[in-house]
Structure 1
Amino acid sequence: MRMLILGGSWFLGRAVAEQARDDGWTVATFRRGRTGEQPPGTVLITGDRNNLTDLDRAAAGPWDAVVDTSGYIPANVLDVARALEPVADRYVFVSTVSVYRGWPVEPLDEDSPILDTPHDAGPDYGYDGDPRPSRYGYGKAGCERAVRWIFGPGRTVILRPGVILGPREYVGRTAWWLRRLARGGTVLAPGDPDRRIQPIDVRDTARFAIQAAVPGGPTGTFNLVGDGHETFGDLLAAAARATRSAARLVWAADEVLLRHRVRHWTELPLWRPYPGTWAVGSRRARLAGLTTRSITDTMRDTWDWMTTGATPVQHGRAAELGITPEREAQILAAIDGKDQPVMASH
């Protein structure tokens, strides 16, 4: 079987390429070739998805499946889908839970309403709100509609991952917590340690994408998240085990962190106080074969990858992450003086 990946050298795209290759697919990636490394055993088709002439090379086909990990602008995805529709059996588009109108405020599933974006919208459509919506979410919602517009529901697979973690993660959420635990000392831990979370490992996301790419495989829309049985406490405990850290965790309640104006999602990565953040239903994907590994495996394997000296593709979002040691110490001192943490643990 033949697979074309739009992207393929970064985080999820590379995981899809490597897993598909290992599963016996003939894999080609269509990308500019300016960043990242070409996965061994795959073919590079050099081109810019924004250039219609370049798309002719990708459309040489035929392809049993297209997996699009790099589509963000509806008008562009529309052009790409038009070019590939005659030579591809199905189109697997990687979207996001940010397309839902209610995320991250309320629980949702695949039938929850999404943002209303035209299938041919440009890059400036939508706006950023707090906590919702986001221009990113608006763009992905329109991209979904663009794929369905061209390929139809019977040949379209929409994947809506939540937070993806694991080796080669370029945003750096996992890496920040691992490095912080490795540094030791007293660590400011966010919210309730028993708060359930749903990150998904990049390798589990990739495997489901490949299952969905197989001719005759499932079509439709699937939320890809962890099973929700693990907690933020489990995540930091896994980071401590992976790094052999003796750090002491001090858990500060949401209201304490908000009072100190800690930026959620960035200063303390993965912490967000909204109740819908980790309340994403994935029953449809589970029934279609989604399986997810433990956060222990994800943190261990990410640390192992980091300690080999490997570095992810450089991305601007990584610079936004992490609380400074000075600010962390100030908040910990304030907690010790008057604010009450949820708990302290080793």
Structure 2
Amino acid sequence: MSNIVSKSSILILGGSYFIGRKIAEVFEEYGYSVSILNRGTKPLTSLNIEQITCDRNDTECMKKALNDRRFDCVVDVSFKDSSWVENLCDTLDFETVKSFVFISTSAVYDIENLKIPFKENDKLAENKYWTSYGLEKINAEKYYTDYFASMNTRLIILRPPYIYGENNYAKRESLIFKHICESNPIIIPKTNPKLQFIYTDDLAKIINHLFKNNASGTFNVGNKKSMTARDWVNACAKVVDKKVKIIECDYKSLNRNVRDFFPFFDYDNVLDVRKINSIFNEETPIETGLSNAYKWFLDNKSQIAFKENIEKNICEILAKSN
């Protein structure tokens, strides 16, 4: 395999669930020495991946866990707030770290005052959709940018839109799969917003490519084309191989919130991805990614805990629409 890097070591902060887990699996496949740091609440997917058990809230635990450890690449997936960023920078020796990758988000953009597609140099600001989540990511980007400015470590900031794939604990595609399988209608906002996605496997491959090619900077990462909410639901139905009834809902007239029934906010979340595509333009077709996610759903649906209030909201809205 041309992508194999036999001796490079990578530390992934996270790695138990969704995004970090996929990054760990892909980098192991490419031949890296992979370590993951998390609380150890989920079993490892491979005996070849090292588990470093630590709570990022605990500074002393972080110091002990990372003392005298050396890595070529570090990927921060599990960021929660600024204290985690400071703890990491205070406890990890970056002397050997060639690349540091921060998984940020499209939620950092000043969404209410920008036009799509959002570009890397567009204004960042807390917005009404993502509130403190977006603001914390903005603060983390700034902290890392300032911290690495005088160091030899290359900083890579990735801003994905909606990430999908197997093990997605956000229960976005899984919620839709569930209702399609049960022959229930799918409710979408009347505005039919534009959505942009990236498959977890593609995100991991982008990280590998940027590391191998000594890249640095901020990159929007996502599929080349966005799709409407209706198109996305139909794509989900296609992999389930069932027809679906889609109901457009004027939820504001019902004094509802869009997240009461739909797994995305009601705005066009579309990024300009020309910068990353000039370096790496491989992309998993949405049908393939959703098909893989659906297979995972079928194998794990008995263990997926859907929110009871969401199910209740959907039933109430459907009752009013009939």
TM-score for the superposition, normalised by structure 2: 0.86
Contact 1:90-1:151 within 8 A present in 2 as well: no
Q: Is 1:98 aligned to 2:133, yes or no?
A: no
Contact 1:15-1:202 within 8 A present in 2 as well: yes
**Alignment match of 1:44 (pick from 51, 54, 57):** 51
Give the drift of 1:309: 2.8
Contact 1:8-1:29 within 8 A present in 2 as well: yes
Letter in 1 for 2:159: R
**Alignment match of 1:199 (pick from 197, 200, 204):** 197
1:156-206 Cα offsets, whole Å, 9 max, x none, are 01111111111100010110011111111444343366x542121122122
**Alignment match of 2:284 (pick from 252, 270, 293):** 293
Aligned-CA RMSD value:
2.6
- Distance in 2, matches of 1:240 and 1:280, equals 25
Give the drift of 1:258: 2.4
- Distance in 1, matches of 2:198 and 2:311, equals 21
Report the counterpart of residue 12 of structure 1 in structure 2: 19
- Distance in 2, matches of 1:174 and 1:86, equals 41
Report the counterpart of residue 211 of structure 2 in structure 1: 213
Describe the SS at the equivalent of 2:247: strand
Q: Percent identity?
A: 22
CA 138–191 in structure 1, closer or farther in 2 if over 3 Å, else same:
same
Alignment of 1:104-253 (within 5 A): 106-107=115-116, 108-115=118-125, 130-131=128-129, 134-152=131-149, 155-191=154-190, 196-214=194-212, 216-252=213-249
Contact 1:178-1:240 within 8 A present in 2 as well: yes
Q: Is 1:78 aligned to 2:86, yes or no?
A: yes
- Pairs aligned (count): 309
- Distance in 2, matches of 1:104 and 1:265, equals 22
Report the counterpart of residue 329 of structure 1 in structure 2: 318
Letter in 2 for 1:304: K
Q: Is 1:31 aligned to 2:38, yes or no?
A: yes
Report the counterpart of residue 5 of structure 2 in structure 1: none
**Alignment match of 1:306 (pick from 297, 303, 320):** 297
Report the counterpart of residue 60 of structure 1 in structure 2: 68
- Distance in 2, matches of 1:312 and 1:162, equals 26
**Alignment match of 2:253 (pick from 259, 264, 268):** 259
Give the drift of 1:266: 4.4
Describe the SS at the equivalent of 1:30: strand
Report the counterpart of residue 88 of structure 1 in structure 2: 97
Letter in 1 for 2:220: N
- Distance in 2, matches of 1:59 and 1:326, equals 53
Contact 2:261-2:314 within 8 A present in 1 as well: no
Contact 1:155-1:219 within 8 A present in 2 as well: yes
- Distance in 1, matches of 2:242 and 2:30, equals 37
Contact 1:198-1:228 within 8 A present in 2 as well: yes
Give the drift of 1:320: 6.2
TM-score for the superposition, normalised by structure 1: 0.80
Contact 1:160-1:221 within 8 A present in 2 as well: yes
Report the counterpart of residue 4 of structure 2 in structure 1: none
1:79-125 Cα offsets, whole Å, 9 max, x none, are 3124322342221011111122236864221001223xxxxxxxxxx
Structure 2 gap ranges (5+): 1-7
1:138-157 Cα offsets, whole Å, 9 max, x none, are 11111112222222286101
Structure 1 gap ranges (5+): 116-127, 334-346
CA 313–13 in structure 1, closer or farther in 2 if over 3 Å, else same:
farther
1:238-295 Cα offsets, whole Å, 9 max, x none, are 221222223333344xxx23222332244222251x3xx3232121111121433232
Describe the SS at the equivalent of 2:95: helix
CA 302–172 in structure 1, closer or farther in 2 if over 3 Å, else same:
same
Higher relative contact order (CA 8 A, sep 6+): 1
Report the counterpart of residue 77 of structure 2 in structure 1: 69
CA 142–229 in structure 1, closer or farther in 2 if over 3 Å, else same:
closer
- Distance in 1, matches of 2:225 and 2:182, equals 28
- Distance in 1, matches of 2:100 and 2:157, equals 8
